[in-house]
């Protein structure tokens, strides 16, 4: 059993080069700053952002924050590219920071994706042309003053004074840094800490909508409560796994699962107890499934997506999914492959329920943001089919799918911010009727995104779906693929219904207007369209890239 | 010389491009541009012909590879040309007759406001037809095959403001689709059998393949030929195709395109030689059609439709000859060429008559035109003598050879086919004499047209009569020239092969017999239409006559069997679609919608419910994982 497990295991993991020789005393922490530089840059930029909030005059904050964010993210991306070019993505894969953070292909690929998503999200965060000028001030999508009671006197003062919450930029950066560590975490504690590092800023960001603040705050509280609940379960699972293996390091647990580890005498009573492994593993996996919004841990998604400020929703929908799927892949492929016969059937069930429920509930949605929320749930199901493949092509197909999905999602939510009426964004679907007549370009762009979500050929969505389904089928999960295709067909119904509404229905007399965005939002949308078409028409280069990046370090 | 082969196709294609893209500003010069490019390709044809003649007979195959069209491993489709004696013959016929008809059309279409477009389509036809005969593989041939089909469709429906013309074009297109399916499937079978569809490798490996495969390919090719060449059972479109302008009928539906089926069979000779069943089928189709067409030709009062029946019948002769194998290939092509001359000439003559008679086509309203249109009368008359096989003229040389070859097949088949061909010759003499007498002799039976204009028959302008005269020249002398020293036989033999066969009847006996049936046919026609006055309104006629007037009930047959059958099939499919398919789809949609509404209720907005769902989910997850281990 252990020999075959090791053989299969070696398909997608390589041994780290670093020799972790056992030392008796507590060692001086050895930190590879260069290899961690992308995360450190983002953290640094976030801290700088906090300092700007504290010391810079109010008028200068917006420009300063924007500059710090953009420069910080760009520098982080450059550092990632440099690391990849240095061979860390393949031959020199490495576990840095005393076994806490992996620097390998999947980590660098996902971090790069997250940083790019964050860069685009920064643009949509910074958009100030959508709302009409109020009291001589241009404002963005965020509350004038987060602490003010909605509808209260203080809020009105803040609005009149033209305040804006520029804290969103450092919050975004903190979240990004956490997300970057999340898929790279190589022990369970780092996993948990990074989860909290990126979750807490997101809870705050969700509460900061300028319009419909009560709904926004409700979303935030729901997200916080349920997130805390799931974190608790995750942490419990970590404790059980520690009890099982006597270590929290991924490699260490994997060795125990494979039966190749030396057991710690102090924990001899529990070590190797399979019940602990199974229960703990299931609970940790549950914590991650909550983040990717898999059924039945999905219920926060529609409410939070709808209530959060739309740029935040876009960012969450894209980046959280990338980070959480990265962590899930690493957990299942590095820690738990030895027990894949146990978790695969369970994940089959989760994937099937996720795809089917996501697609079916979306059919009766009447709000664009909720529709996209259910769509993201269904996509989580499609991604899970790739995860379940347990093969190198499973890893690379999921990586590719994440890129394709995240940029389309960002673009889609950016379009949602543009369709407005007197109450802000007009998210009710009935108001989108006839949009194609009024602004054909915008409607056409949204149609492209919807077609990509639906997985129509020549869009990124098709390439991604094809890749994960192919990987799943090769892994023997043909019934799963059948369910996936049927769910896609159901999903196509509601995507195309929106297109039909936009192009083939008469516009309403008091329909919404389409705001003319600044180049910031236009860039986000254009990038979404470009990624959709490039990955749809010529996906091979990116598939190869994802394929090269598909080997985990251990 | 090889690049010239591409130029042969390119010249008229360029012309078509210029005329169709150029738009209205070319309206005043367009017809001359069309003629020019046709003439250019004729000149290139002549140059290439001279080049071929200067080579030894074994070296007379030129090839030219333009580019690889579909470069997929195992599936190589090239755009390449092959010019050999067979192609060359066609090239000269197509470009020569084509150029003459272009020139004729300048006069004929003078008052048509869409003349430029007409010439554009004619050029397009020339390009497609040349591509068809020059292709070195079946796939490229298929491109040309579809191209001539398109040109034919466009030109039949050229006066699409007339519903009858639009319908005729559609009919021709649909019937041809059936044949085209045959060709495309034949190519597919060929590819799976030989791994290629280029002439050379396919013909080289005919010996390595089972007879069943070859028979299949042969019958499919025959189906294709039937569609394009208006052979029974796909003949019904040709009569209606006469709705097109007369030059089109002359060029496409008499001299060139409709003979493409014969070309296909002769070109695929290697396949047919190895598949006797398919060969016999070709003979049978040819024999049936030659009688069928002749009978239809006897009953029609519309001069063009009578000629169309005749075309069908003459192509039946060619098919018959082609089906005889090496005994007949050369004569099939020879008859094809001579027929190209005299039938084109007859059609142009008919067009000239119509031109002078306010576009009247009913021969019962003609009569006594010989003095009013002397040139037309003489050229038409020479064409008439050629087609009935008057000794010494073109038709005599080629048709007699076919009858002889049919007997030479030997056995019962030979006797039957020979007898049919002989009888056909008699009927040909009858109906052509009938056309001749009703048009040019007898009393004037002229009537004013629908708008009350009295006809004032007059000779057509020179631009029309000169091409007619040249074609008449060909009708008279071509057959004789080809037969001097068996020149045509020697020319074509290296490509098609030839064997003499063993005729149970002596050549002179056949000649005499042919002459006898010829005289019988002419005499009978003289009896009916020369000595008696032709009634201006057609008499009721016998059952056969009435059937023949309705094209021997071919449309009725198609209507009952195919149209009605198709309608029933469609209706039942629509019913099935509505009840079963739509029912399933709508049921599924309703089911999904209902389920969606119910599941949606779980999303009640309360965090406590969500947390319960998560807790339950976790419990299930843990339990399932443990269960898996337990199992």
* Dihedral over Cα of B227, B229, B235, B239: its sign: positive
Q: What is the mean pLDDT of residues B27-55?
A: 92
Of B613, B616, B618, the CB nearest to A233: B618
Tally of CA atoms within 13 A in the half-sphere of B164 that contains its CB: 7
In chain A, DSSP finds a helix count (H) and a strand count (E) of 22, 7
Would you say B322 and B262 are in contact if contact means Cβ atoms under 8 Å apart? yes
Interacting residues of A25 by C-beta distance below 8 A, sequence separation 6+: none
Would you say A329 and A8 are in contact if contact means Cβ atoms under 8 Å apart? no
Q: What is the mean pLDDT of residues A503-528?
A: 90
Three-class SS of residue B539?
Answer: coil
Which A-chain residues 255-274 have CB contacts (< 8 A) with chain B? Answer: 274
Q: Is the pLDDT of residue A40 over 80?
A: yes
Mean pLDDT in chain B? 90
Mean pLDDT in chain A? 90
Q: What is the mean pLDDT of residues A504-508?
A: 88
Residue B70 and residue B81: Cα distance in Å, rounded? 16
- Verify whether the Cβ–Cβ distance A226 to B597 is below 8 Å: no
Q: Is the pLDDT of residue B452 over 80?
A: no
A12 Cβ under 8 Å from any chain B Cβ? no
- Give B362's strand partners: B302
A349 Cβ under 8 Å from any chain B Cβ? yes
- Give A101's strand partners: A96, A185
Would you say A472 and A389 are in contact if contact means Cβ atoms under 8 Å apart? yes
- The tens digit of pLDDT for each residue in A83-94 reads 999 988 888 888
Q: Is the pLDDT of residue B219 over 70?
A: yes
Choice among A124-133, A493-502, B302-311 with the minimum mean pLDDT? A124-133
Residue A449 and residue B270: Cα distance in Å, rounded? 57
Choice among A26-35, A430-439, B194-203, B599-608 with the minimum mean pLDDT? A26-35
Q: Is the pLDDT of residue B484 over 60?
A: yes
Q: What is the mean pLDDT of residues A489-500?
A: 93
What pLDDT score was predicted for residue B608? Answer: 92
- Verify whether the Cβ–Cβ distance B597 to A364 is below 8 Å: yes
φ, ψ dihedrals at A314, nearest 5°: -60, -45
Q: Is the pLDDT of residue A46 over 90?
A: yes
Is the ipTM beyond the 0.85 threshold?
Answer: yes
Residue B440 and residue B374: Cα distance in Å, rounded? 10
Pull the structure tokens for residue B426: 């008699």
Q: Which of A215, A360, A489, A494 to mutate to test the interface with B (most CBs of B within 10 A)?
A: A360
**Residue A232: count of CB within 10 angstroms of its CB:** 12
Percent of chain B at pLDDT exceeding 90: 61
pTM: 0.67
Which B-chain residues 29-58 have CB contacts (< 8 A) with chain A? Answer: none
Which B-chain residues 552-591 have CB contacts (< 8 A) with chain A? Answer: 589
Percent of chain A at pLDDT exceeding 70: 94
Would you say B116 and B27 are in contact if contact means Cβ atoms under 8 Å apart? yes
What pLDDT score was predicted for residue A9? Answer: 61
What pLDDT score was predicted for residue A168? Answer: 95
* Dihedral over Cα of B6, B7, B12, B16: its sign: positive
Q: Is the pLDDT of residue B232 over 90?
A: no
Residue A309 and residue A271: Cα distance in Å, rounded? 47
| B488 or A271, higher pLDDT | B488
- The tens digit of pLDDT for each residue in B98-137 reads 999 999 999 999 888 889 999 999 999 999 999 999 999 9
Distance from CA of A348 to the nearest CA of B (A): 11
Interacting residues of A388 by C-beta distance below 8 A, sequence separation 6+: A344, A347, A348, A351, A394, A472, A475, A477, A480
Which positions in chain B touch A279 (Cβ < 8 Å)? 622, 625-626
What pLDDT score was predicted for residue A1? Answer: 42
- Verify whether the Cβ–Cβ distance A278 to B603 is below 8 Å: no
What pLDDT score was predicted for residue A10? Answer: 61
Cis amide linkage into residue B322, ω under 30° from 0: no
Tokens 């409560």 label which residue?
Answer: A225
A230 Cβ under 8 Å from any chain B Cβ? yes
Which positions in chain A touch B600 (Cβ < 8 Å)? 361, 364
Q: Is the pLDDT of residue B530 over 50?
A: yes
Interacting residues of B608 by C-beta distance below 8 A, sequence separation 6+: none
What pLDDT score was predicted for residue A19? Answer: 52
Q: What is the mean pLDDT of residues B334-358?
A: 92
- The tens digit of pLDDT for each residue in B378-426 reads 999 999 999 999 998 999 999 999 999 999 888 888 899 999 999 999 9
Would you say B104 and B57 are in contact if contact means Cβ atoms under 8 Å apart? no
- Transcribe B39-55 into DSSP letters: HHHHHHHHHHHHHHHTS
Tally of CA atoms within 13 A in the half-sphere of B278 that contains its CB: 28
- The tens digit of pLDDT for each residue in A442-459 reads 999 999 999 999 999 999
Q: Look at residues A221, A199, A193, A343 and name the one whose alpha carbon lies nearest to residue A283.
A: A343
What pLDDT score was predicted for residue A267? Answer: 67
- Give A424's strand partners: A421
Would you say A378 and A359 are in contact if contact means Cβ atoms under 8 Å apart? yes
Pull the structure tokens for residue B423: 């009888």
Produce one character per residue of B550-570: b if its CB has 16 or more CB atoms within 10 Å, e if not: ebbebeeebeeeeeeeeeeee
Q: Look at residues B164, B547, B589 and name the one whose alpha carbon lies nearest to residue A359.
A: B589
* Dihedral over Cα of B466, B471, B475, B477: its sign: positive
Residue A473 and residue A477: Cα distance in Å, rounded? 5
Domain ranges of chain A: 30-548
Tally of CA atoms within 13 A in the half-sphere of A239 that contains its CB: 6
**Residue B194: count of CB within 10 angstroms of its CB:** 19
What pLDDT score was predicted for residue A262? Answer: 72
- Transcribe A44-55 into DSSP letters: HHHHHHHHHHHH
Q: Is the pLDDT of residue B450 over 80?
A: no
A228 Cβ under 8 Å from any chain B Cβ? no
- The tens digit of pLDDT for each residue in A408-420 reads 999 999 999 999 9
Distance from CA of A338 to the nearest CA of B (A): 13
Q: Which of A284, A331, A342, A374 to mutate to test the interface with B (most CBs of B within 10 A)?
A: A342
A225 Cβ under 8 Å from any chain B Cβ? yes
Q: Look at residues A408, A376, A191 and name the one whose alpha carbon lies nearest to residue A298.
A: A376
| A67 or B538, higher pLDDT | A67
């Amino acid at each position: 059993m252990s020999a075959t497990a090791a053989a299969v295991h070696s398909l997608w993991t390589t041994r780290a080069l670093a020799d972790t020789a056992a030392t008796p005393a507590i060692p001086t922490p050895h930190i590879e700053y260069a290899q961690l530089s992308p995360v450190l840059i983002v953290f640094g930029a976030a801290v700088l952002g906090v300092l700007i909030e504290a010391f810079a005059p109010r008028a200068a904050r917006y420009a300063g924050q924007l500059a710090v964010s953009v420069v910080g993210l760009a520098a982080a991306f450059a550092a990632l590219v440099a690391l990849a070019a240095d061979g860390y993505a393949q031959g020199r894969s490495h576990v840095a920071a005393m076994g806490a953070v992996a620097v390998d292909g999947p980590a660098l690929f996902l971090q790069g994706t997250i940083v790019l998503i964050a860069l685009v999200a920064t643009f949509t965060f910074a958009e100030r042309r959508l709302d009409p000028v109020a009291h001589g001030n241009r404002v963005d999508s965020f509350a004038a003053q987060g602490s003010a009671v909605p509808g209260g006197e203080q809020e009105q003062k803040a609005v009149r004074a033209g305040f804006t919450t520029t804290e969103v930029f450092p919050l975004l950066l903190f979240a990004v840094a956490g997300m970057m560590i999340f898929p790279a975490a190589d022990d369970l504690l780092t996993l948990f800490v990074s989860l909290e590092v990126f979750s807490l800023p997101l809870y705050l960001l969700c509460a900061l909508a300028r319009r419909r603040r009560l709904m926004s705050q409700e979303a935030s509280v729901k997200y916080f409560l349920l997130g805390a609940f799931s974190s608790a379960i995750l942490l419990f699972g970590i404790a059980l796994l520690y009890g099982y293996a006597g270590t929290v390091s991924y490699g260490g647990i994997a060795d125990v699962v494979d039966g190749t580890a030396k057991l710690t005498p102090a924990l001899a009573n529990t070590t190797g107890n399979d019940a602990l492994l199974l229960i703990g593993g299931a609970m940790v996996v549950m914590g991650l499934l909550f983040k990717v919004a898999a059924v039945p841990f999905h219920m926060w998604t529609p409410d939070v997506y709808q209530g959060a400020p739309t740029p935040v929703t876009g960012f969450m929908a894209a980046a959280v999914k990338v980070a959480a799927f990265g962590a899930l892949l690493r957990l299942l492929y590095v820690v738990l492959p030895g027990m894949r016969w146990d978790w695969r059937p369970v994940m089959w069930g989760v994937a099937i329920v996720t795809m089917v429920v996501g697609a079916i509930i979306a059919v009766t949605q009447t709000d664009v943001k909720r529709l996209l929320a259910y769509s993201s749930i269904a996509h989580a199901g499609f991604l899970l089919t790739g995860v379940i493949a347990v093969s190198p092509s499973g890893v690379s197909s999921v990586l590719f799918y994440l890129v394709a999905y995240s940029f389309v999602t960002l673009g889609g939510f950016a379009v949602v911010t543009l369709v407005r009426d007197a109450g802000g964004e007009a998210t009710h679907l009935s108001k989108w009727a006839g949009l194609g007549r009024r602004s054909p370009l915008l409607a056409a762009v949204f149609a492209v995104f919807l077609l990509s979500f639906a997985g129509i050929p020549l869009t990124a969505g098709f390439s991604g779906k094809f890749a994960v389904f192919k990987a799943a089928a090769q892994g023997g999960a043909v019934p799963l693929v059948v369910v996936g295709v049927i769910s896609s067909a159901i999903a196509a119904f509601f995507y195309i219904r929106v297109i039909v509404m936009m192009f083939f229905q008469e516009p309403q007399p008091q329909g919404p207007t389409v705001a003319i965005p600044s180049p910031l939002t236009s860039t986000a949308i254009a990038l979404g369209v470009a990624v959709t078409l490039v990955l749809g028409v010529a996906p091979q280069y990116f598939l190869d890239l994802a394929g090269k990046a598909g080997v985990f370090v251990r | 010389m090889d690049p010239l082969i591409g130029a042969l196709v390119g010249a008229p294609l360029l012309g078509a491009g210029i005329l169709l893209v150029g738009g209205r500003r070319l309206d005043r010069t367009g017809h001359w541009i069309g003629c020019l490019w046709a003439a250019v390709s004729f000149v290139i044809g002549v140059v290439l012909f001279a080049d071929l003649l200067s080579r030894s007979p074994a070296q007379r195959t030129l090839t030219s590879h333009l580019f690889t069209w579909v470069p997929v491993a195992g599936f190589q489709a090239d755009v390449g040309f092959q010019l050999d004696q067979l192609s060359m013959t066609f090239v000269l016929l197509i470009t020569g007759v084509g150029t003459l008809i272009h020139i004729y059309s300048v006069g004929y279409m003078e008052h048509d406001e869409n003349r430029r477009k007409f010439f554009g389509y004619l050029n397009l036809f020339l390009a497609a037809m040349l591509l068809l005969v020059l292709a070195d593989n079946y796939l490229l041939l298929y491109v040309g095959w579809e191209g001539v089909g398109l040109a034919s469709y466009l030109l039949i429906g050229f006066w699409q403001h007339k519903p009858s013309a639009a319908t005729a074009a559609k009919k021709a297109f649909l019937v041809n689709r059936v044949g085209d399916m045959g060709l495309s499937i034949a190519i597919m079978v060929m590819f799976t059998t030989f791994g290629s569809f280029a002439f050379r490798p396919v013909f080289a490996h005919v010996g390595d393949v089972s007879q069943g495969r070859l028979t299949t390919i042969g019958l499919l090719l025959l189906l294709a030929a039937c569609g394009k060449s208006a052979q029974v059972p796909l003949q019904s479109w040709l009569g209606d195709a006469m709705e097109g302008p007369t030059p089109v009928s002359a060029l496409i539906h008499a001299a060139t395109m409709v003979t493409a089926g014969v070309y296909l069979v002769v070109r695929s000779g290697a396949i047919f030689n190895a598949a006797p069943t398919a060969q016999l089928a070709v003979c049978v189709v040819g024999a049936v059609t030659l009688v069928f067409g002749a009978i239809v030709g006897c009953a029609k009062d519309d001069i063009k439709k009578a000629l169309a029946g005749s075309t069908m019948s003459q192509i039946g002769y060619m098919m018959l000859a082609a089906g005889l194998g090496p005994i007949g290939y050369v004569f099939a092509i020879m008859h094809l060429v001579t027929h190209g001359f005299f039938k084109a000439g007859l059609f142009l003559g008919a067009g000239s008559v119509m031109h002078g008679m306010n576009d009247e086509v009913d021969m019962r309203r003609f009569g006594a035109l010989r003095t009013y249109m002397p040139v037309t009368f003489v050229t038409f008359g020479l064409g008439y003598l050629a087609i009935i096989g008057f000794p010494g003229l073109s038709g005599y040389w080629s048709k007699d050879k076919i009858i002889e070859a049919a007997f030479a097949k030997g056995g019962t088949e030979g006797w039957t086919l020979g007898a049919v061909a002989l009888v056909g010759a008699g009927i040909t003499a009858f109906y052509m004499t009938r056309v001749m007498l009703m048009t040019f002799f007898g009393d004037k039976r002229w009537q004013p047209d629908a708008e009350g204009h009295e006809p004032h028959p007059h000779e057509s302008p020179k631009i029309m009569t000169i091409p007619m005269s040249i074609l008449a020249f060909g009708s008279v002398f071509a057959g004789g020239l080809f037969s001097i020293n068996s020149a045509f036989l020697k020319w074509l033999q290296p490509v098609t092969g030839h064997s003499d066969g063993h005729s149970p009847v002596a050549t002179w006996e056949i000649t005499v017999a042919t002459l006898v049936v010829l005289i019988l046919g002419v005499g009978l026609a003289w009896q009916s239409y020369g000595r008696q006055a032709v009634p201006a309104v057609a008499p009721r006629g016998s059952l056969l006559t009435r059937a023949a007037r309705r094209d021997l009930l071919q449309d009725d047959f198609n209507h009952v069997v195919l149209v009605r059958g198709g309608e029933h099939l469609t209706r039942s499919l629509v019913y099935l679609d509505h009840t079963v398919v739509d029912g399933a789809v709508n049921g599924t949609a309703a089911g999904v919608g209902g389920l969606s509404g119910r599941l949606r209720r779980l999303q009640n907005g309360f965090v406590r419910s969500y947390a319960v769902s998560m807790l339950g989910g976790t419990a299930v997850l843990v339990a399932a994982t443990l269960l898996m281990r337990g199992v």
